[in-house]
Structure 1
Amino acid sequence: MDITMSRKRAEISSPSDVLPQQNQPPAAERRGGRSNWFPLPSTAAIAHFHRRRFLSFRSAFLCLITFAVAAAFILYSSRFANSRFAWFGEAVQSGNVSGEAYHSPEVFKLDYAEMEREFKVYMYPEYDYGGPPIQSTISGKYASEAYFFKNIKESAFLTKDPEQAHLFFIPISCHRLHRKVSSYDEMGSIVQEYVKGLAQRYPYWNRTLGADHFFLTCHEIGVGATKKVRFLAKNAIRVVCSASYGTDFIPHKDVSLPLVIQPFSKPAGHEMHGRSILGYWAGYRNSKTRNKLVKRWGKDKELDIQNSTAYASGRMEKFYRSKFCICPVGSSVNSNRITMAIHYGCVPVILADHFHLPFSNVLDWSKFSVVVKERDIFNLKKILKARVGTSYRILHSNLLEVQKHFQWNAVPLKFDTFHMILHQLWLRRNVVKYV
């Protein structure tokens, strides 16, 4: 019986029993004849082949995905490898530049990126004021001057090698000088002696007559004092809050500095609901335009026009409750009313014919503000009511987009006021000398 069972197992295990009949060679060929016949693979072998091919395709696909992710990471890293600062948290949100509030967002981003990579500033030794540090003495609406000094001192844009510098910073604060002296003539003499000393100790002023130099002042007295220094107002780049054509402001050379009263407060006024006041202004009647504004609209029920200080108790909330904040020119053009309106999400209404708006070569002010000629002040209500509705929603949305450009930060953030000023200086780095 054991022999019989062994034979059966051997017969069952023979190839002729495992392979299908059509997979057997012809009888003549089985007897030793030549043939081109090859045995077909078994079903199990075919399944194994397809399984291996699937695994190979899947492995190749996973490798391709891994390579794509790695390539994207390398490209991203190389693009920002030269970035001067690391932006985290809230700064990431401030890094977006898009929308119709910009003349050309793509051109701006390219110029800005180049500025971050390349721009170098050499800062001369500061004038000895004989007082406490600059950041501890300046506050209020002239604080922009102090915070620029603070930010640039702590930035990576400064270089100790003058030969690497694109521009030279003259770090004299006319606002601090105003605390020390009271007259234009006396302040002008101090500025003149300081610049003269720089020209004698360093060769960089004389080689361009100051055309590759810049200074910053946020007080109209400082603007007047610097006029007394030959070539300082004519050749050097002036970064000023008094950006009026009446103060000899040259748009392609000088820079309009936003006047900010609350440097480190976060932008507000994102909500549109609750803005029941059509237009709001409170201030002193210290100009013809303001006199006309109060005389014509002081008793209007839809426009809230008041001849009083805007900073009195309970009046700051009007910035939150108003659709439009009217910004009329005063006795001087260095008013912070425009930046206050932007900060509180209140669409600014510019009533100043000769004021050069900040960053106007980058920002399209018509997309987030209303510019009204001073002669059209009697049609103000009609002009504003025509902007209510969809037009206002677009203006308000664009206004929120540009808030980051009018914000100072203790640690500078991308696209904030400090970097926007540097971007403006970068665009003016090519020397233009007026002899």
Structure 2
Amino acid sequence: MAIPSLLLSPLLLLLVLLRPPFTTANSAVYFSKTTIFSDYEKMITNLKIFIYPLPNQLHQQYNSTPFTLLHNSLLTSNFLTHNPNQATLFFLPFPPMSTRSLDRHVKLVRTTYPYWNRSLGADHFYFSSQGVGPTSSRNVAELKKNAVQIACFPVPAREFIPHKDITLPPSSVLSRAHPQSEGLSTRFLGYWRFAEVGSGVELINGLRNDGEFLIESEPYDEGVFLERVQSSKFCLFVYDVEGVGGLSVALSHGCVPVVITDRPIQDLPLMDVIKWSEIAVFVGSNMGPNKLKRALIRTCEDGGYDRMKRLGVAAAHHFAWNESSPQPYDAFNMVMYQLWARRHAIRYSKWEI
């Protein structure tokens, strides 16, 4: 039976909106594109989130947190439900506070509502920009051990549980990604911005006098920064320092990230979805400037650079925040997807010290 012409356009529009941003050519960046697409469609239809009311005295503090963008997107999304009995997950909002205050806040939730005690918080999630540290408080310990934590990347060591917690895509990208124009020439092999680089300072300083690298200490405005990124093959970042949020910008503009780190990284955004080894280079701070340069040149010569650039631009769609109207597979929806993937809560039968 033919589809009526009046229905054809809406159906086509729906297919376009649901179409994933990957093709056979760039599917290598995902652990399983088939699973992602299938699970994403189920998530769009079935995920429902109930948000606990925030006490009046906490409203002003909460609105000042970097989580406002994600929270506002959730409030206007189809994932929101006002019926907790329909909820897949429960969101516990709170501003940065002391351990004692957080203990009281979680205690209020568990004594006012029946939902926390059903799983000891395992079907709940919360936001903490830098993670929740060790504590002897029962309420806070259950929150940290059982609930899904959403934190800002990078997260301090020992305050992130890889199999459970997730990180927000870097907040420096608040609009759609704008991929680097095809054919735009690159003047530099590598680019670095910012002066303080912690354990990577020696490696970075060793490149300052090399004409193939642009090493700058001044945090120029966004326009200048984007120009520098687009004119460089690789963008250098030191893990655990301010400025690493530029990872998203580098990817979307075709500059392959080079992440300098002294320890394994377990908190990269979308780490259980995207193969970061396909879109970024990871090196130790003790590598030495000459060895680093040779490694980057070798990557360009063996064809690895072109592949990583192409896959990085494709993956950048997932790091774009569309503040006014979230788009399929963008940063907001991929955070929701990661929460959906963690919906099978582990039930803890009793409190254990």
Give the TM-score taking structure 1 as reference length: 0.69
The question of whether the paired residues in 1 share the 8 Å contact of 2:50 and 2:82 is answered with: yes
- Confirm or deny that 1:163 pairs with 2:85: yes
Q: d(CA) in 2 for partners of 1:205 and 1:429?
A: 14
Aligned to 1:267: 178
- Confirm or deny that 1:381 pairs with 2:306: no
Q: C-alpha displacement at 1:230, in angstroms?
A: 2.4
Aligned to 1:204: 115
Gapped regions of structure 1 (runs ≥ 5): 1-66, 175-185
Q: d(CA) in 2 for partners of 1:354 and 1:326?
A: 17
Q: Which amino acid aligns with 2:31?
A: H
Aligned to 1:407: 320
SS of residue in 1 equivalent to 2:224: coil
SS of residue in 2 equivalent to 1:348: strand
Q: d(CA) in 2 for partners of 1:305 and 1:278?
A: 11
Alignment of 1:1-20 (within 5 A): none
Aligned to 2:106: 195
Q: Report Cα offsets for 1:24-72 as digits up to 9, x if no partner.
A: xxxxxxxxxxxxxxxxxxxxxxxxxxxxxxxxxxxxxxxxxxx4x549x
Alignment of 1:89-128 (within 5 A): 92=17, 95-98=20-23, 99-128=27-56
Which residue among 322, 326, 331 is the counterpart of 1:417? 331
> Share of identical aligned residues, percent?
29
The question of whether the paired residues in 1 share the 8 Å contact of 2:154 and 2:239 is answered with: no
Aligned to 1:47: none
For the pair shown, the structure with the greater C-alpha radius of gyration is 1
Q: C-alpha displacement at 1:277, in angstroms?
A: 0.9
Q: Which amino acid aligns with 1:414?
A: P
Aligned to 1:146: 68
Aligned to 2:259: 350
Q: Which amino acid aligns with 1:342?
A: L
Alignment of 1:233-248 (within 5 A): 233-244=144-155, 246-248=157-159
Residues 203 and 133 (structure 1 numbering): CA distance in 2 closer, same or farther, change over 3 Å? closer
SS of residue in 2 equivalent to 1:279: strand
SS of residue in 1 equivalent to 2:190: strand
Q: C-alpha displacement at 1:132, in angstroms?
A: 8.8
The question of whether the paired residues in 2 share the 8 Å contact of 1:211 and 1:236 is answered with: yes
Q: Which amino acid aligns with 2:83?
A: D
Coordinate RMSD, CA, aligned = 3.2
The question of whether the paired residues in 1 share the 8 Å contact of 2:21 and 2:317 is answered with: no
The question of whether the paired residues in 2 share the 8 Å contact of 1:294 and 1:306 is answered with: no
SS of residue in 1 equivalent to 2:271: coil
Q: C-alpha displacement at 1:286, in angstroms?
A: 4.2
Q: Report Cα offsets for 1:358-378 as digits up to 9, x if no partner.
A: 112211122222222334354
Q: Which amino acid aligns with 1:392?
A: Y
Q: C-alpha displacement at 1:269, in angstroms?
A: 2.0
SS of residue in 2 equivalent to 1:323: strand
The question of whether the paired residues in 2 share the 8 Å contact of 1:338 and 1:348 is answered with: yes
Residues 310 and 329 (structure 1 numbering): CA distance in 2 closer, same or farther, change over 3 Å? farther
Q: C-alpha displacement at 1:87, in angstroms?
A: 5.8
Residues 205 and 75 (structure 1 numbering): CA distance in 2 closer, same or farther, change over 3 Å? farther
Q: C-alpha displacement at 1:349, in angstroms?
A: 1.1
Pick which of 257-266 and 315-324 moved more.
257-266
SS of residue in 1 equivalent to 2:215: strand
Alignment of 1:316-327 (within 5 A): 316-327=226-237
Q: d(CA) in 2 for partners of 1:253 and 1:123?
A: 20
The question of whether the paired residues in 1 share the 8 Å contact of 2:61 and 2:95 is answered with: no
Q: d(CA) in 2 for partners of 1:193 and 1:310?
A: 43
Relative contact order: is structure 1 or structure 2 higher (C-alpha 8 Å, sep ≥ 6)? 2
Q: d(CA) in 2 for partners of 1:225 and 1:268?
A: 41
Gapped regions of structure 2 (runs ≥ 5): none
Q: d(CA) in 2 for partners of 1:125 and 1:225?
A: 26
Give the number of equivalent residue pairs. Answer: 338
Q: C-alpha displacement at 1:421, in angstroms?
A: 0.6
Q: d(CA) in 2 for partners of 1:283 and 1:158?
A: 40
Q: C-alpha displacement at 1:104, in angstroms?
A: 1.5
Q: Report Cα offsets for 1:190-215 as digits up to 9, x if no partner.
A: 32222221111001112211111101
Q: Which amino acid aligns with 2:343?
A: R
The question of whether the paired residues in 2 share the 8 Å contact of 1:97 and 1:109 is answered with: no
Q: C-alpha displacement at 1:339, in angstroms?
A: 1.7
Give the TM-score taking structure 2 as reference length: 0.84
Q: d(CA) in 2 for partners of 1:132 and 1:248?
A: 22
SS of residue in 1 equivalent to 2:192: strand
